[in-house]
Amino acid sequence: MSAVQDLPRAVELVRKLGGRRRVVIEDLRPQIEGGRFAIKRVIGDAVTVEADVFADGHDLVACRLLHRWEGEAEWAYAPMQPVGNDRWRAEFSASTLGTYRYTIEGWVDHIQTWQMDLRKRIAAGQDIAVDVEIGAKLIEQAANRARGADAERLWTWLVNLRHPDMEHRKAAALHEELLEVARRYPDWRFATRYEKELLVTVDREKAIFSAWYELFPRSFGSLRDAGRWLPYVASMGFDVLYLPPIHPVGRAFRKGRNNAASADAEDVGSPWAIGAAEGGHKSLDRELGELDDFRRLIQDARKYGLEIAMDLAYQASADHPYLRDHPEWFRKRPDGTIQYAENPPKKYQDIYPFDFENEYWPTLWDELKSIVDFWIDEGVRIFRVDNPHTKPFPFWEWLIADVRARYPEVIFLAEAFTRPKVMYRLAKLGFSQSYTYFAWRNTKEELTEYFEELTRLDDFFRPNLWPNTPDILTELLQSGGRPAFMIRAVLAATLGASWGIYGPAFELTEHLAREPGSEEYLNSEKYERKTWDLEQPSSLRPFLARINFIRRENIALHRNHLKFHPTDNPMLLCYTKTSSDASNVIATVVNLDPGHKQWGFVHLDLAALQLDFSRPFQAIDLLNDENYTWQGSRNYVELTPETKPAHILRLIRGA
């Protein structure tokens, strides 16, 4: 379409908006995909909003931020302040769980423009009689719009603006305090409001700051035996206890030890092969206990400062009642058999995925949501979602929105080790936290590049960093010995506000792979019960407890904002986190080499850290209980992996 052909549409748009609306609003931030998705915050966070706001000509403009919680009918307002180059900024506090809306309005500020021009005329020695009267009319209009004490003050001001003595009138015209009163009551008729209302999803604190511990309860007896392992997990400072599926396990095509295609009679199978004759996703494995035992576990966990996270795995074993009662929810092969899960060349004969393209998808969606509702009724508020990237995006957006509208405290963690854009899409449409590629980022360059990328996604993507999982035993952990586990723990716990480990494999430094080149554990707990010696002298339990204590005590580590600093040794990684009020500054320096001592100089950006270059400052090593006095940006470090793999330093102004 040519510009001439498009002219009627443009004219109609001007008529719709009003030809006297002169203010333009552009580049409003934050917003995700043009406002398609909500940004994320947690309770107590400030939502800082910026935009370019300007008008034609030389008139001054003003603007304000509008915001309201979903349960409120009226907008609240915050005046926006100029930050240069027609850019404006304001903020509001996200103080309630749920959803907030926000937008901005801008208008030509005739009253301030009048006073600005008046000052110029006075400075030039010009006659200002007419100009003062112009201002008087503007103040009169504002007084008619004002109420209460403000109206009285403006009417009094108007009298002074029309005083017989010109010097008296001039003094009144330049009254700054009264000017600010008048500016509260502009002529709204020609104000421009941004064309969209944008959304903020507000979560509880644990959605961004948490420490997870994964444990297979069947290796520790039953849910009734939780008294044995809840204190153990709590003693290391973790606050989320994540349980792999605790539902009945299918018997048909059950996998044997080490993922063997056939199982012996005593083999327990993979807990992700959900469903048996006794029930499916709304049932418990009878060997673990009954629902009363699960309810007691929820209550007992709270006594230890723990919250139970449940695995949400939308798939079925061959024995799941769904296959009998709803075969239409599964994909059939040409020979009439139901298609089991595959990731060629891998075959998962014990697991059957749902077919989300079948014509009965609405009933499937409703049933899957009812699983979440069932466990919410039993007290669960955190779900770790297995392979969400293998289910449709619209399904997750619908499910999470529905659940959070009723239970805004619910947290969903996306276990999606897949392509970056897919991971980010899942985060945009509602997942509270996300697994990452952290486990495979080892070098200084890899870690710096990756976490600088994640920092740029902070408005919607919240990383949860795991050095290991039951599926992931990286080559570094296989070969790096105990120091490798210590190094990866420090990195995970300080690079991210949320982190987790699969234990007790991690703290006991389990490192044997099933075969060379594999990331699968030898004698994996996914397929058998394990007996763990939790009292091993070499356990990393005290080390992990120390890290989690440091995290809790330092609010700078409660968020994901990072700044990397140069070092002159590629095996030394240095980065800082700073609290929003700059009262808490944490610098972490890590030796990335688990096999050798490394030393060198770190080069801190003191200006960014608000530290005085000319004065010494304290660097208190919270991990190793040591104290250093540093001065200037260049300071020496020496780290030995077996005894001191890292510094976690609190920087304090003044030595």
**Residues labelled catalytic:** 386, 415
Q: What angle do CA 392, 394, 398 make, to 5 degrees?
A: 125
Strand partners, 630: 617
Rg (CA), the chain: 31
Amino acid at 625: D
CA distance 555 to 382: 23
Residue 534: its H or E element: none
Query: What is d(CA 54, CA 86) in angstroms, rounded to the nearest whole number?
Result: 6
* Structure-token pair, residue 417: 């080790």
Angle of the 176-183 helix axis to the 148-161 helix axis, nearest 10: 130
Yes or no: say if 23 and 61 are a contact pair by the CB < 8 Å rule.
Answer: yes
Token pair recorded at residue 470:
């039951």
Distances (CA, A) of 186 to 19, 21, 92, 107, 382: 18, 14, 22, 8, 48
Q: What is the 3-state secondary structure (H, E, C) of 178-228?
A: HHHHHHCCCCHHHCEECCCCEEEEEECHHHCCEEEEECCHHHHCCHHHHHH
Cβ distance 39 to 67 under 8 Å? no
Q: Which residues pair with 620 in a beta bridge?
A: 627, 650
Cross-strand pairs, 7: none
β-pairing verdict for 563-565 and 498-502? unpaired
Nearest to 502 by CA among 462, 553, 544: 544
The CA-atom distances, in angstroms, between 362 and each of 281, 357, 358, 369, 593 are: 18, 10, 9, 11, 52
Count Cβ atoms within 10 A of the Cβ of residue 344 and give its class: 0-12 exposed, 13-18 middle, 19 or more buried. Answer: exposed
Q: Looking at the chain, how many residues does it have?
A: 655
Q: Is the peptide bond before 483 cis (omega within 30 degrees of 0)?
A: no
Sign of CA dihedral 225, 410, 383, 250: positive
Instruction: Please state, in angstroms and as integers, the Cα–Cα distance from residue 200 to each residue in 9, 47, 254, 594, 616, following that order.
Output: 33, 8, 45, 42, 42
Distance CA 62, CA 54 (A): 9
CB distance 564 to 574 below 8 Å: yes
Instruction: Indicate the SS3 state at residue 442.
Output: coil
Q: Rounded to 5, what percent of the chain is helix, strand, coil?
A: 35, 25, 40
Distance set, CA 59 to CA 90, 106, 128, 502 (Å): 21, 13, 19, 62
A 10 A CB-CB count for 388 gives 26
The pair of three-digit structure tokens given for residue 468, joined into one six-digit string: 């290991």
Question: Three-state SS string across 492-512, please?
Answer: HHHHCCEEEEECCCCCCCCCC
Q: How far is CA 360 from CA 17, 195, 339, 536, 574, in A?
A: 45, 38, 17, 53, 54
